[in-house]
Amino acid sequence: MKLSILLKRVIFIGVLLAIWQGVYMSGYFPAIQFPPPTKVFQAMVEGFADGKLVSALLASFKHLLIGLGLAIGIGTLIGVLLGKSRQADETAGMYLIAMQSIPSIVWVPLAIMLIGLNETAVIFVVVLGGTFVMALNTRTAIHSVPPEFIKAARTMGTKGMRLFFKVEVPASLPYFMSGIRLAWAFSWRALMAGELLSNGPGLGYSLRYAMDFAQMEVVIGIIIIVGVIGSVVDQLIFSKMEKKVMRRWGLLK
Amino acid sequence: MFLQMNNVAKTFAQHEVFSGIDLSIQENQFVSLLGPSGCGKSTLLSMVAGLESATEGSISLGGKTILEPGTDRGMVFQQPALFPWLTVRDNVTFPLKDKLSKKEQDQIAAHYLKMVHLTRFKEAYPHELSGGMQQRVAIARALAMDPKVLLMDEPFGALDEQTRHILHDELMKIFQETKKTILFVTHSIQEAIKLSDRVIVMGTRPGRIIADFPVDVERPRQRDNSRVIELEQEIMELLKGEINKVLKEELDHETKHFT
Ligand SMILES: Nc1ncnc2c1ncn2[C@@H]1O[C@H](COP(=O)(O)OP(=O)(O)O)[C@@H](O)[C@H]1O
Ligand SMILES: [Mg+2]
């Protein structure tokens, strides 16, 4: 069963590559616009070998880690404030949803004009990309703490800070984890948008550089890397953590 | 008196749930609050727990007025409300945290988990247990802080018949072993008579106490005991009037709205 799924997936990729190779060999597109899979693969190997892709990747991860870390921190603070204070929620909750609906690429010109064409601007965009979704999910997490947990804890003499940290925080962990997973996803997209328009370093910048120099095989190679990292990080880290919490909390069987 | 309610009233916004509740409960007694749903049983129990405040009057325990929740009153709800992120043992020691050493806490947890026959499951997580087992953990958790009074709000209401009977027997044993004062909310006449020393019957619209029966029957009580049957019928008669009142009011309400 497991093996047959794997087999299907491998065959699927194989077929795609074959079609790609076939279109290339038909000569319909000029080779400069449409490199064969082998050439893309070769470009990726070279990029890693000469260290260019590696340093771009490291720069991107640095932007992401700082930006996502800040987004999670700031988003959690805003979310807790809105979750705990009805006043704050009624006043600012709606605007948070509005902010969340702004595509992060829109922030790029603002960031560049405000901060300049540098890495800080990229990180700024990443932070904006992740903060709002984190805040919204943290707010939902606090609101979704079952009231019977609070009541039970209070009858056991728990109140104040202890009630918050020992009951409300752990009780809201499942939604909080979804928040982190979404913040990562949004930040990752924002990172690419920001880097694409920055002047480096970073994966997004390398992508635009390759475009400027008409290196289609590098463009495709980087797109593949971005896709692979996105799904691998989601599957191996964030989805896994979220599922683990959900299972322990009895929300998933 | 040990647990004393003086002229207690509760009003939510405009809606008066009950008023003029006077009730004295002796130590080591098992007292049931019985009444149709909506008459304010849970509200009254929450007030004893200190989760709700009295709009009028006062409730005192051992001479001290109840103003907020405290570890002298343990509560078991219809939903077990166990913390899913803690093991069974850590759930039971939750009310003890910080006050005692780890070892003392473990001993207390072991003691009460043994009392509810869940020693084997101390390392399990709540979602791995059945509903009846979860409710037993909730009882052990409430007992662990050694409260003077155990408040139970339809604790077996969500369980199947068979599990309910098993837990009745366990609760009786715990009551005899720990000598706690128990205030037990139920809407089942049989359950109230089977378990209690005293059954307080509440009426509705407006909520109030309409009767107070001592249950003078030797334990364990059999359902076919003639005194049990007699009491059942007496209380049934009383409640019929109350339930009819609710039905009539609801029908009137409907006819007013739909004709
Ligand atoms: N927090 C609350 N706010 C407003 N009304 C409430 C609240 N809690 C209970 N009530 C009302 O008080 C009445 C009694 O409720 P409750 O004590 O739960 O009754 P019972 O437990 O006897 O079924 C009901 O009419 C219910 O709608
Ligand atoms: Mg109730």
Q: What is the pLDDT of residue A32?
A: 87
Q: How confident is the model at residue B154 (pLDDT cuts 50, 70, 90)?
A: very high
Q: Which of residues 173-232 of B touch A (CB under 8 A)?
A: none
A176 vs A169: CA distance, rounded Å? 9
Tens of pLDDT, residues B11-30 = 999 899 999 999 999 999 99
* HSE of A68, CA atoms in CB hemisphere, 13 A: 20
Q: How confident is the model at residue B258 (pLDDT cuts 50, 70, 90)?
A: low
ipTM exceeds 0.95 = no
| Partners of residue A248 in chain B, C-beta under 8 Å | 84-85, 125, 127
Q: What is the pLDDT of residue A200?
A: 78
Q: What is the pLDDT of residue B259?
A: 53
> What are the residues whose beta carbon lies below 5 Å from ligand 2 (ion)?
B 42
Q: What is the pLDDT of residue B86?
A: 96
Question: Do the Cβ atoms of B51 and A250 come within 8 Å?
Answer: no
Q: What is the pLDDT of residue B97?
A: 67
Q: What is the pLDDT of residue B250?
A: 75
Q: How far, in Å, from the CA of B134 to the mean position of ligand 2?
A: 19
Q: What is the pLDDT of residue A29?
A: 92
Q: What is the pLDDT of residue A150?
A: 97
Evaluate the omega torsion of the peptide bond into residue A37 and state whether it is cis, within 30 degrees of 0: no
Question: Which residue, by CA, sits nearest to atom 9 of ligand 1?
Answer: B43
Question: Which residue, by CA, sits nearest to atom 1 of ligand 1?
Answer: B12
Pocket of ligand 1 (CB under 6 A): B 12, 15, 17, 35, 37-43
CA distance B259 to chain A (A): 39
Tens of pLDDT, residues B160-216 = 999 999 999 999 999 999 999 999 999 999 999 999 999 999 998 788 999 999 999
Question: Do the Cβ atoms of B125 and A250 come within 8 Å?
Answer: yes
CA distance B37 to chain A (A): 19
Tens of pLDDT, residues B48-96 = 999 999 999 999 999 999 999 999 999 999 999 999 999 999 999 999 9
pLDDT lower than 50: segments of chain A: none
B137 vs B129: CA distance, rounded Å? 10
Question: Do the Cβ atoms of A166 and B125 come within 8 Å?
Answer: no
Distance of CA A253 to the CA centre of its chain: 27
